[in-house]
Structure 1
């Protein structure tokens, strides 16, 4: 992992339906692999995505920062 490589911070980003997977990943890293890791910051937001037909839809985003 990046923590094993010497990194002090790891950023996990996700959009849409992958948000729950990102949260699960952060919790598994914190509880099983790097027990001294802490959640430093969580940012949530919305991105406007335009598809091929020209329609705009809003997609939720999350950014989780883990630090050692």
Structure 2
């Protein structure tokens, strides 16, 4: 099984930067990508996948979506995260 290339999505960069990173990763030979985002960045990761599907990569498939929470920096409040694995035919 091929390991997915990991792309961490944050709110520090525009969504289109992540779309470009995904297209570049696919064009460089990766067949699967794993987008990972935490907290407020979750909506940005979903936006990236929707933009890729609607306008940039026809036939893009969402393989898996995982959600959960994790402790960050030993804090008391857990932070939600999402992992979206996408593949190109």
Cα drift, residue 50 of structure 1: 3.8
Aligned to 1:5: 28
Q: Indicate whether 1:65 and 2:85 are aligned.
A: yes
- Distance (Å, rounded) in 2 between the aligned partners of 1:47 and 1:11: 18
- Distance (Å, rounded) in 1 between the aligned partners of 2:86 and 2:73: 31
Give matches, 1:1-68, under 5 Å: 1-50=24-73, 55-68=75-88
TM-score by length of 1: 0.87
Judging by fraction of residues, say which structure has more helix: 2
**Which has the larger displacement, 16-25 or 3-12?**
3-12
Q: Which runs of 5+ in 2 are unaligned?
A: 1-23
Question: Residue deviations 1:3-28, cap 9 Å, x none?
Answer: 11111101110000000000000111
Which contiguous aligned blocks of 4+ residues in structure 1 show a shift greater than 2 angstroms?
none
Q: Which runs of 5+ in 1 are unaligned?
A: none
- Cα RMSD (Å) of the superposition? 1.2
